[in-house]
Amino acid sequence: MDCHIYLTDILFMISFSNAVNIFCTGTVTTTGSCHDTMESQAVIVYKEFDEMSLFHKPIRNIKMKKDLSVSIKQEWQSLGVAGVVWDAAIVLAAYIIDHPSIVGGKSVLELGSGTGMVAIVASRFAARVTATDRSLAIPLIQENIRLNNDIPITHGSLSADLLVWGKKLDNNIVQYDVILGADIIYIEDTFNDLLDTLKAMSSLETVVYLSCKLRYDKDLRFIQTLEAFFQVKQVHQDFERDIIIYRAMLPSNNVT
- Distance, CA of 187 to CA of 233 (rounded, Å): 22
Does residue 62 contact residue 69 with C-beta atoms inside 8 Å? yes
Q: What is the DSSP letter of 45?
A: -
pLDDT at 167: 87
Q: Tell me whether strands 69-73 and 59-63 are parallel, antiparallel or unpaired.
A: antiparallel
pLDDT tens profile 51-61: 678 878 889 99
Of the candidates 255, 201, 200, which has an alpha carbon nearest to the alpha carbon of residue 231? 255
| Other CB atoms within 10 Å distance of the CB of residue 3 | 9
pLDDT at 130: 96
- Distance, CA of 70 to CA of 145 (rounded, Å): 10
Q: Judge whether residue 221 has pLDDT over 80.
A: yes
Does residue 236 contact residue 245 with C-beta atoms inside 8 Å? yes
Q: Judge whether residue 46 has pLDDT over 50.
A: no
Distances in whole angstroms, Cα of residue 181 to Cα of each of 49, 91, 99, 162, 250 = 23, 11, 16, 15, 17
- Distance, CA of 194 to CA of 192 (rounded, Å): 5
Rounded to 10°, the helix 191-200/217-226 angle is 30
More confident residue, 158 or 6: 158
pLDDT at 224: 95
CA contacts within 13 A on the Cβ side of 9: 25
- Distance, CA of 244 to CA of 237 (rounded, Å): 4
Does residue 144 contact residue 120 with C-beta atoms inside 8 Å? yes
Q: Judge whether residue 222 has pLDDT over 80.
A: yes
pLDDT tens profile 128-152: 999 999 999 999 999 999 999 876 5
Does residue 231 contact residue 248 with C-beta atoms inside 8 Å? yes
pLDDT at 170: 74
Q: Judge whether residue 171 has pLDDT over 60.
A: yes
Q: Judge whether residue 253 has pLDDT over 80.
A: no
Q: Tell me whether strands 42-44 and 4-6 are parallel, antiparallel or unpaired.
A: parallel
The pLDDT confidence band at residue 255, using thresholds 50, 70 and 90, is: low
pLDDT tens profile 66-118: 778 899 999 998 999 899 999 999 999 999 999 999 999 999 999 999 999 99
The pLDDT confidence band at residue 223, using thresholds 50, 70 and 90, is: very high
Longest dimension (CA), the chain: 52
